[in-house]
Structure 1
């Protein structure tokens, strides 16, 4: 049997494993080990590659720190205060609470950098409120799933860190490049949400009151400060992404520790005030944590990092093997053979979109970015623009079957069955695809904020 047939057989085997639910790290690991034996590569090569990733990848240190940040801001109450502010601003519109949920996803993403954390946190918090407010529970769950797509686009983004590491691009440039497209995604989904809610008459309206907006803004100032700290530090060059992640973790720990005593203080100042009369922001302060809870939060974040980091490392070896097999050259010939600039660009986008339907963004990025990015660069696409374009396309895969990670997350936290969400994600999918095409046609949306551009 030829080497090619062996590789094909191994690929079919690991595909079956993937369909049976075997973790993607093991699927790729089995393929890498099997292909290495077929090609005569020693296992020392795998060990050296893994070691190089963990010892030379300083930028990857930001990944576990931002994962930890997502858990800390959820426990500290920052996420709820940001949601409160978004509702005060948008609750006067039809579908305002759903639109506020999308806005809260954008604000949460600007601190956490994770799609699944954004969906889980905002979904668990806002879904019951939306159902009480007269929204269809399936639409409410789909809104949380769609809102989570911006988690990897609005900086800081864990997947941008991985992309920058793989493609040797400044992670700070990638973060800045994602700001405008990320905001466009939020606005596009809010417009779709408003149209659907207006058609169905969903949502109870509240008056737009300046004092409510100011009060909730004051309640959420810690969240705004955290967002501004990250963006200011990275944009001005004061912090590297890794340093910014460390500073944000420290800030969130301080906020979480002072939230509980601050809530007790507020209660003691006005002991006769009933819970129903307390503002949403004041009640959110109860979501702090004690010093003794920090190890548990860190361990939970470390568990997630323990899944992602080995996957990145073993995928680097996978790239080496694919290069030896000529896969990169084959795909490059196919894509470049499509013709001119836009034909090549949109062919690459279609590949990313289809891959995002069956793969999570991390393996999708690790496998395809090193193949497609050089092709895009060869036709004159700015590397930062293509990175943003690539990851916006990958983020859309979070709400497209058969994979649709955010749909699974939203289903888990809301109790709405997976397949009942699909119909209500269609308007959001249309909005995201429209934004994606606009970003592709207008490169300045990704590069205009970059320093020295």
Structure 2
């Protein structure tokens, strides 16, 4: 039997395993193992590559800290304050709570820089509230999964750092370029959310109260401060994005430890269920916090999420090495170059990113495709920073695109809704995100308008 036939059989075999419910990590791992035997590559190369990713992986240094930041913000009560602010602004609209969860994802993304942390935190916090509010549990879980896609677009973002490192682009420029497209992604998903909720009559409405908006904004001051701390530190060069994650973790730990006794002194009891309109100024300024004894359990939860993501990323990097040996990079580069014109190259690149994003996480997609597609796009006149944004918005859409859809797995894990039951409503958000993606590709100024003039 010829090698191409064996490669096809191996690929079909692991696809069948995925359909049977085998974890994605094992599916990709079996493919890597089978291809290693076929290509007569030493098996110790797999172990060495996995070790290199965990010990020398530039992007992965920040990932556990960003995920831990998300759990600390959630446990301390800061995330709840941010979601209360979003709900006070949007609760008067049909589907306001679901739209508020998308807005909370955008705010949370500006602190965590992680799609999975955003999905896990907002999903675990607001999914039960949405179900109580009359929303379909599948739609509620799909909303959290879709909202998490902005985690790698709204700065700070791990994947922007990786892209800038690979293509030698200023990371600060990439962060700035992601602000408008990231905001548009949230807006597009809100429109889709409103239409679905309006059609089904989901959600209870609250009156729009300027006083409530002001109170929730004051109550969320620690969250806004954390966002400002991260962005200020990165944009002024005070610390790197990885250091920013560490600083934010330290800030959240200090806030958690200090606020716990203050909360007990001022409030006297847990006020998680107390309406913001009934709180005094002193009660709003202090979140519930957490104690030192809670820190191990918070860290363990973060470690569990990291334990899901890191092996997937690592084995995907090994997969990239095998694809390189097979000559996939040369084939892709030659195919895109043959398209010729500006829009043909741009949309062909987008199609390739979309297809590969269906089966791989954004980091290996970036590692595999960015060095191939970016030079080709630049050669036909696509501005490098704009292409970076277009590329990574497409990679983020892969988080809710079957069969991989990492955010769908995370949302399923934190909400208890089976993966395949999320797909119906994730399709609505997928259409909205693709529409925004096309607009961002066709209008370069959306990515470059905020860039500093040089």
Which TM-score applies when normalising by structure 1? 0.86
Which deviations, in whole Å up to 9, do the C-alpha atoms of 1:83-138 show, x marking residues without a partner?
A: 00111112222322222111111111111122232223222322333344344444
Conservation of the 8 A alpha-carbon contact between 1:59 and 1:165: no
Conservation of the 8 A alpha-carbon contact between 1:57 and 1:165: no
Provide the residue aligned with 1:69 in structure 2: 69
Secondary structure, in 3 states, of the residue corresponding to 1:358? Answer: coil
Within 2, Cα distance between the matches of 1:168 and 1:27? Answer: 33
Conservation of the 8 A alpha-carbon contact between 1:80 and 1:284: no
Query: Pairwise mapping of residues 41-80 of structure 1 onto structure 2 (< 5 A)?
Result: 41-42=41-42, 53=53, 56-80=56-80
Conservation of the 8 A alpha-carbon contact between 1:60 and 1:161: no
The alpha carbon displacement at 1:219 in A equals: 0.8
Secondary structure, in 3 states, of the residue corresponding to 2:63? Answer: helix
Number of corresponding residues:
450
Secondary structure, in 3 states, of the residue corresponding to 2:267? Answer: helix
Provide the residue aligned with 1:329 in structure 2: 330
Provide the residue aligned with 1:196 in structure 2: 196
1:347 correspondence with 2:363: no
Within 2, Cα distance between the matches of 1:20 and 1:409? Answer: 19
CA 1:317–1:357: 2 relative to 1, 3 Å = closer
Provide the residue aligned with 2:439 in structure 1: 438
Conservation of the 8 A alpha-carbon contact between 2:218 and 2:284: no
Query: Pairwise mapping of residues 237-248 of structure 1 onto structure 2 (< 5 A)?
Result: 237-248=237-248
Query: Pairwise mapping of residues 4-15 of structure 1 onto structure 2 (< 5 A)?
Result: 7-8=7-8, 10-15=10-15
CA 1:8–1:134: 2 relative to 1, 3 Å = closer
Conservation of the 8 A alpha-carbon contact between 1:95 and 1:194: yes
CA 1:34–1:168: 2 relative to 1, 3 Å = farther
Within 2, Cα distance between the matches of 1:280 and 1:389? Answer: 45
Within 2, Cα distance between the matches of 1:280 and 1:412? Answer: 37
Within 1, Cα distance between the matches of 2:412 and 2:55? Answer: 38
Within 2, Cα distance between the matches of 1:373 and 1:23? Answer: 32
Within 1, Cα distance between the matches of 2:34 and 2:134? Answer: 54
The alpha carbon displacement at 1:68 in A equals: 1.6
Structure 1 portions without partners, runs of 5+: none
CA 1:194–1:44: 2 relative to 1, 3 Å = closer
CA 1:264–1:436: 2 relative to 1, 3 Å = same
The alpha carbon displacement at 1:239 in A equals: 2.0
The alpha carbon displacement at 1:386 in A equals: 2.3
Query: Pairwise mapping of residues 255-334 of structure 1 onto structure 2 (< 5 A)?
Result: 255-268=255-268, 278-279=278-279, 287-309=288-310, 311-334=312-335
Conservation of the 8 A alpha-carbon contact between 2:313 and 2:361: no
Within 2, Cα distance between the matches of 1:52 and 1:170? Answer: 25
Provide the residue aligned with 1:233 in structure 2: 233
The alpha carbon displacement at 1:178 in A equals: 1.6
CA 1:40–1:374: 2 relative to 1, 3 Å = farther
CA 1:405–1:3: 2 relative to 1, 3 Å = closer
CA 1:227–1:283: 2 relative to 1, 3 Å = closer
Provide the residue aligned with 2:107 in structure 1: 107
Which deviations, in whole Å up to 9, do the C-alpha atoms of 1:292-321 show, x marking residues without a partner?
A: 222333344344445544554554454344
> Which shows bigger deviation, 124-133 or 7-16?
7-16
Within 2, Cα distance between the matches of 1:241 and 1:400? Answer: 28
CA 1:345–1:19: 2 relative to 1, 3 Å = same
Within 1, Cα distance between the matches of 2:61 and 2:346? Answer: 32
The alpha carbon displacement at 1:185 in A equals: 0.7
Within 2, Cα distance between the matches of 1:10 and 1:318? Answer: 13
> Which shows bigger deviation, 406-415 or 281-290?
281-290
Provide the residue aligned with 1:147 in structure 2: 147
Conservation of the 8 A alpha-carbon contact between 2:59 and 2:158: no
CA 1:224–1:14: 2 relative to 1, 3 Å = same
Conservation of the 8 A alpha-carbon contact between 2:78 and 2:287: no
> Which shows bigger deviation, 239-248 or 88-97?
88-97
Which deviations, in whole Å up to 9, do the C-alpha atoms of 1:226-285 show, x marking residues without a partner?
A: 1111112222222211121111111111122223222212224x99xx957854995996
Query: Pairwise mapping of residues 116-155 of structure 1 onto structure 2 (< 5 A)?
Result: 116-155=116-155
Within 2, Cα distance between the matches of 1:280 and 1:370? Answer: 55
Provide the residue aligned with 1:249 in structure 2: 249
Within 2, Cα distance between the matches of 1:99 and 1:86? Answer: 8
Conservation of the 8 A alpha-carbon contact between 1:357 and 1:403: yes
Within 1, Cα distance between the matches of 2:28 and 2:280? Answer: 46
Provide the residue aligned with 1:178 in structure 2: 178
Secondary structure, in 3 states, of the residue corresponding to 2:426? Answer: helix
Conservation of the 8 A alpha-carbon contact between 2:70 and 2:121: no
Which deviations, in whole Å up to 9, do the C-alpha atoms of 1:414-448 show, x marking residues without a partner?
A: 44454444343344223211110111112232233
Within 2, Cα distance between the matches of 1:88 and 1:288? Answer: 22
Within 2, Cα distance between the matches of 1:135 and 1:46? Answer: 45
Within 1, Cα distance between the matches of 2:372 and 2:19? Answer: 25
Conservation of the 8 A alpha-carbon contact between 2:115 and 2:407: yes
